[in-house]
Amino acid sequence: MIYLFQVLNGIGIGMLYFLLAVGLSVIFGLLQFVNFAHGAFYLLGAYLTYDLTSRGLSFWAAMPIATLIVAGAAALIEALLLHRIYKLPHSFHILVTVGLALMIQELTIIVWGPLGGSVAPPAGLTGVVMLGDFIYPQYRLFTIAFTAVLAALLWWLLEGTRLGAVVRGGSESSDNMALLGYNTLRINTAVFGFGAGLAGLAGALAAPIRGVEPFMGIEALSVAFVVVVIGGMGSYTGALVAGLLVGVTQSVMAAIWPEGARLMIYIGMALVIALMPRGLLGRA
């Protein structure tokens, strides 16, 4: 039974990893750009939620506001700075986004202090659910349901709408999209904001589960990397499968070998790479 709970926990965490990885993926797909500041946007989303709820705002208002602020800030950064460096080699993309991540992390410490804090689950979801003889926190069930709906929405948005078609077209050939009359500069800005907003949303949702601390960003970044390495960048299904796999592995291992739970994520990744160099779904 404990394992069932851990699997449930893992699905919840895994869906957050999925959100992070999809954001990273969408940005990479369109801009050919690895965003090393992705973890910092997650950090910012979590801290803004912490800040707004501790000012008495309800979580239901804080979560979307935090997400929008992160998305807006990211779009602004893209419009002012990042579009200047797309032509440069990858090492400079990494240098700039690592620099941004450092700045966001240090600003977080300056504004909110180095110690971190906790965020209470939203009113109405503070209780527990009885599953037979066992209890399970309502908020964690909510995140599973909420992220599942989000995942379906995202799939529809990316695969079923004109907007998604424009984004996918842009990732095939930005020049052709410009020839067709699309303002690719504006699309780039919007997509970067959107991808970063997903990271911010993941942070907002994670805050009541794991609290906030200034170094949660780098942890999220490396897990998102593991997910896209295993699942393939630019692959929606890959991010979903790999995100869930990583989340469940981490949770189940937390019951079997608590000290080594996070280590196992990386061991698992090393094994996948050793046995299946192209990742689970064999693309890229």
Partner 1 sequence: MNVVNKPVVQFGLALLTVAVLPLTLSSGILASEILIFAMVVAACNLLLGYTGLLSFGQGIFFGVGSYVAGIFLTRFDLPVPVVLAASLVLGAAIAALVGWLSIRRQGVYFVMLTLAFAQMFYFLAYTFSGLTGGDNGLLDIPRPTVGGAALDGPWSYYVYVAVCFVVVFGLLLVATQSTFGRTLIAIRENESRAAAIGFPTRLFKIEAFAISGAVTAFAGALHAMLIGVAPLSNIEYHISELILIMTIIGGSSSLFGSVLGAGFYLLLADTLSAIWPRWLLLLGLCLVLVALFLQRGIWGLVERLASAVTGGPGPAAPAATSGEEA
Q: Is 56 in the site for partner 1 (CB under 8 A)?
A: no
Token code pair at residue 86: 């797309």
101 binds partner 1 (CB under 8 A): yes
Does residue 103 bind partner 1 (CB under 8 A)?
yes
The answer to whether 127 and 142 are in contact (CB under 8 A) is no
Nearest to 154 by CA among 111, 194, 119, 182: 194
| Helix-, strand-, coil-residue percentages of the chain, each rounded to 5 | 75, 5, 20
Closest CA to 216 of 3, 38, 25, 9: 38
Look at phi and psi of residue 113 and say left if phi exceeds 0, alpha if psi is from -120 to 50, else beta: left
Amino acid at 46: A
Our CB check for partner 1 shows the closer of 88 and 180 to be 88
**Span interacting with partner 1, options 154-162, 179-187, 205-213, 264-272, rule CB under 8 A:** 264-272
Please identify which residue in the block is written with the tokens 């009541």: 208
Closest to partner 1 by CB, 233 vs 252, is 233
Residue 282 touching partner 1 (CB under 8 A): no
Work out which of 76, 120, 131, 270 binds partner 1, going by CB under 8 A: 270
Least separation in angstroms between residue 107's CB and partner 1 is: 7
Asked if 65 interacts with partner 1 (CB under 8 A), we say: no
Per CB under 8 A, 76 contacts partner 1:
no
Q: Could you give the CA distance from residue 255 to residue 240 in angstroms, rounded to a whole number?
A: 23
Residues 209-228 that bind partner 1 (CB under 8 A): 218-219, 221-222, 225-226, 228
Instruction: Decide: is 84 part of the binding site for partner 1 (CB under 8 A).
Output: yes
> How far, in Å, CA of 12 to CA of 35, rounded?
24
Identity of the residue, 68 or 94, whose beta carbon is nearer to partner 1 in the bound complex: 94
User: Would the CA dihedral through 20, 99, 97, 280 be positive or negative?
Assistant: negative
User: Which one of 66-74, 142-150, 166-174, 259-267 is the stretch in contact with partner 1 (CB under 8 A)?
Assistant: 259-267
Residues that bind partner 1 (CB under 8 A): 28, 34, 81, 84-85, 88-92, 94-96, 98-103, 105-107, 109-110, 218-219, 221-222, 225-226, 228-229, 233, 259-260, 262-263, 266-267, 269-270, 273-274, 277, 284
